[in-house]
Structure 1
């Protein structure tokens, strides 16, 4: 069998983790293939990428300006490379991937070549904002793999889209279903500088109070921070025990205070009672609020609300999160977080967590690997 050439575009670290599990499942099929494109070789250690996504990780407007010539050159080269492949797999990062897909199709059209079969996995959140992207993807992609049961309904009729499961269900090594009596409490203030600067001082004040009451505060930092100057990032973190792995760090904790993002979904699926805290610049907050038409910002709350009511507009109690509390902006204070912790509704959390796992059904890696195998068989007919 002729080896299949698969082009991959995966910029985000989380996308690369999901890609690694997909490739691991696909390797079991014993189908000869090669990978090229842009992905993280620290995650996919057995493969060589054409470009590493770290080249685009910059801070500030001036940094972006300096990188623009390189950015366009890389994008041009990636489009040429993808046009020579059998399959092109795109993950997340729609602002990068959508123009890239258009360029690939344009190159193939100009040279009268057959374009690669284009697959989009980890779709943009069209259900939250920029809904027009659904129509764009439905016209430029050959198939779409959704990781949320409800998102398929946001695409035009006859769009080749299917639900493949949620990748976090492949990743979580355990799932607790009852409160565990542990003195350890996790704090996850995020990975971005602005997030940490906004949240960590509040988490630090709360940790001091909890520590005085016999609790053990655990600061869970991203693995990428392991060899960095932590004092420069956090300042004084002497009240915390430091851990650099989310899953092992949460395992022995009875509770978690978490910044918004994927981390709140992870802690919920793991069965760790969670409170979400989100704080950003007021201008950024109001801009986001005007663009995003959702009742909640925590992914677990958003997903369960969709499962219960089909759309946020149908929710009769839009101010009551279905799984865990959320504190935003000026409401993020040590006193408010402490009060919510002391009055936490554990029954609501564990019932909601069970419903969420049932709703998401399964992991996605094996389904995606099977889809790839079926696709290759059809291409080789």
Structure 2
């Protein structure tokens, strides 16, 4: 039996891992999986070595207090790989952890594939010189990535972006409105604060004040907060006493139903921008990190945009309101503009289609293409 040790470190990687495991089994039944993942990969039969949420940290100030614990988890992971002797180690995103695993496993161990290219093209490009020898193949999600990595001998393969398989564009607005007893006059606005605890702690207070400023101008405002499964209960408790209490959306299908009903959205940067674009939701992107992390980031970022949809569009298709601009007054004004200006909303939607077209796999679905790339390494 072919054994695959698969590792995901955050919610988005967990979804990718689930789809990839499913596609791999469709191509080669009887594969045996072990490793680290979340709830979605558990649905595919993975028993996680430890809770994936322990790896979902971001920013220097958030990671430093957990360094010793993360090092212990790294040792545990490498020891598990040595004990299980898998045919391949398949890591998904989360480079701060996964690339250390690949390095520790070494070229004399099992085959190694990394899925989701490290975004060194965006900042600290000199880090690419540390990657040769880490993997046998690099599976890229974005069409411009192979051109960046190939000159460095890093074996990139473009497989397309699995967000196209998500169903984000197939939500049911009527079902969402009926479930939450919202009438046709309701104005649903989706808020997406991220999947990490550190992200939500920083953004939720800002979102609370944003709603307070927006509500007087939108009488039928119906805020909807999309919460990642691992932190949904904490988000619900935190927002229970908000003056404008949001509907808490906990599962993927209901999130997509909310997208179908939404008139606008406020989201953190990341894959959520692509999902909203698929659903045609006018959006603004916002984010805020620890000031120390922000100071370093601004000096290292090499791309003109942080929102994925803007990078694909090669222009500022949606507003990016980051750090100091992640302020309730600015966010509320931006949302109000999207709600009131039909031309601005239509311009975003027109740009979405062109940007998303570049994400299609060369053949079949992105997950199928990624699975074929993995199996080609196995032989």
TM-score range, shorter chain: 0.7 to 0.9
Residue 89 (structure 2) aligns with: 88
Q: Is the Cα contact below 8 Å between 1:39 and 1:52 reproduced in 2?
A: yes
Q: Is the Cα contact below 8 Å between 1:88 and 1:117 reproduced in 2?
A: yes
Question: Kindly tell me: are residues 210 and 187 of structure 1, through their superposed partners in 2, closer, same or farther at Cα, counting changes over 3 Å?
Answer: farther
Q: Distance between the aligned counterparts of 1:42 and 1:146, measured in 2?
A: 21
Q: Count residues in correspondence.
A: 348
Q: Report how far residue 222 of structure 1 moved.
A: 2.3
Q: Is the Cα contact below 8 Å between 1:90 and 1:97 reproduced in 2?
A: yes
- Compare 70-79 and 254-263 and name the one that shifted more: 70-79
Q: Distance between the aligned counterparts of 1:231 and 1:237, measured in 2?
A: 14
- Compare 281-290 and 96-105 and name the one that shifted more: 281-290
2:181 aligned with 1:186, yes or no? no
Q: Is the Cα contact below 8 Å between 2:264 and 2:338 reproduced in 1?
A: no
Residue 373 (structure 2) aligns with: 371
Give the alignment partner of residue 259 of structure 1, picking from 258, 268, 275. 268
Q: Distance between the aligned counterparts of 1:32 and 1:61, measured in 2?
A: 38
Q: Report how far residue 133 of structure 1 moved.
A: 3.7
TM-score by length of 2: 0.81
Q: Is the Cα contact below 8 Å between 2:7 and 2:91 reproduced in 1?
A: yes
Q: Report how far residue 119 of structure 1 moved.
A: 0.8
Q: Distance between the aligned counterparts of 1:62 and 1:101, measured in 2?
A: 22
Following superposition of structure 1 onto structure 2, how do residues 3-14 of structure 1 map, counting pairs within 5 Å? 3-14=1-12
Residue 31 (structure 1) aligns with: 29
Residue 73 (structure 1) aligns with: 75
Structure possessing the higher radius of gyration over alpha carbons: 1
Structure 2 unaligned blocks of 5 or more: 172-183
Give the alignment partner of residue 257 of structure 2, picking from 232, 236, 248. 248
Q: Distance between the aligned counterparts of 1:181 and 1:164, measured in 2?
A: 42
Q: Distance between the aligned counterparts of 1:187 and 1:253, measured in 2?
A: 10
Residue 156 (structure 2) aligns with: 161
Q: Is the Cα contact below 8 Å between 1:189 and 1:258 reproduced in 2?
A: yes
Q: Distance between the aligned counterparts of 2:360 and 2:6, measured in 1?
A: 26
Give the alignment partner of residue 143 of structure 2, picking from 144, 149, 160. 149
2:234 aligned with 1:228, yes or no? yes
- Compare 244-253 and 281-290 and name the one that shifted more: 281-290
Q: Report how far residue 130 of structure 1 moved.
A: 2.8
SS of the residue aligned with 2:234?
Answer: coil
SS of the residue aligned with 2:262?
Answer: coil
Q: Distance between the aligned counterparts of 1:137 and 1:62, measured in 2?
A: 23
Following superposition of structure 1 onto structure 2, how do residues 274-289 of structure 1 map, counting pairs within 5 Å? 274-289=283-298
Question: Kindly tell me: are residues 277 and 159 of structure 1, through their superposed partners in 2, closer, same or farther at Cα, counting changes over 3 Å?
Answer: closer
Question: Kindly tell me: are residues 188 and 44 of structure 1, through their superposed partners in 2, closer, same or farther at Cα, counting changes over 3 Å?
Answer: same
Q: Distance between the aligned counterparts of 1:164 and 1:271, measured in 2?
A: 24
CA RMSD of aligned residues (A): 3.0
Q: Deviations over 1:228-283 (max 9, x none)?
A: 36343675154433322432221211221223332222211221111223344544
Q: Distance between the aligned counterparts of 2:346 and 2:64, measured in 1?
A: 49
2:18 aligned with 1:20, yes or no? yes
Q: Is the Cα contact below 8 Å between 1:200 and 1:234 reproduced in 2?
A: no
Q: Distance between the aligned counterparts of 1:79 and 1:132, measured in 2?
A: 30
Residue 359 (structure 1) aligns with: 358
TM-score by length of 1: 0.80
- Compare 360-369 and 332-341 and name the one that shifted more: 332-341
Q: Distance between the aligned counterparts of 1:186 and 1:33, measured in 2?
A: 39
Runs of 4+ in 1 over 6 A off after TM superposition: none
- Compare 336-345 and 355-364 and name the one that shifted more: 336-345
Question: Kindly tell me: are residues 79 and 375 of structure 1, through their superposed partners in 2, closer, same or farther at Cα, counting changes over 3 Å?
Answer: closer
Q: Distance between the aligned counterparts of 1:229 and 1:194, measured in 2?
A: 9
Q: Distance between the aligned counterparts of 1:159 and 1:66, measured in 2?
A: 30
Q: Report how far residue 360 of structure 1 moved.
A: 0.9
Q: Is the Cα contact below 8 Å between 1:204 and 1:239 reproduced in 2?
A: no
Q: Report how far residue 73 of structure 1 moved.
A: 3.3
Q: Is the Cα contact below 8 Å between 2:124 and 2:302 reproduced in 1?
A: no
SS of the residue aligned with 1:96?
Answer: helix
Higher-RCO chain (CA-CA 8 Å, sequence separation at least 6):
2
Structure 1 unaligned blocks of 5 or more: 109-114, 306-319
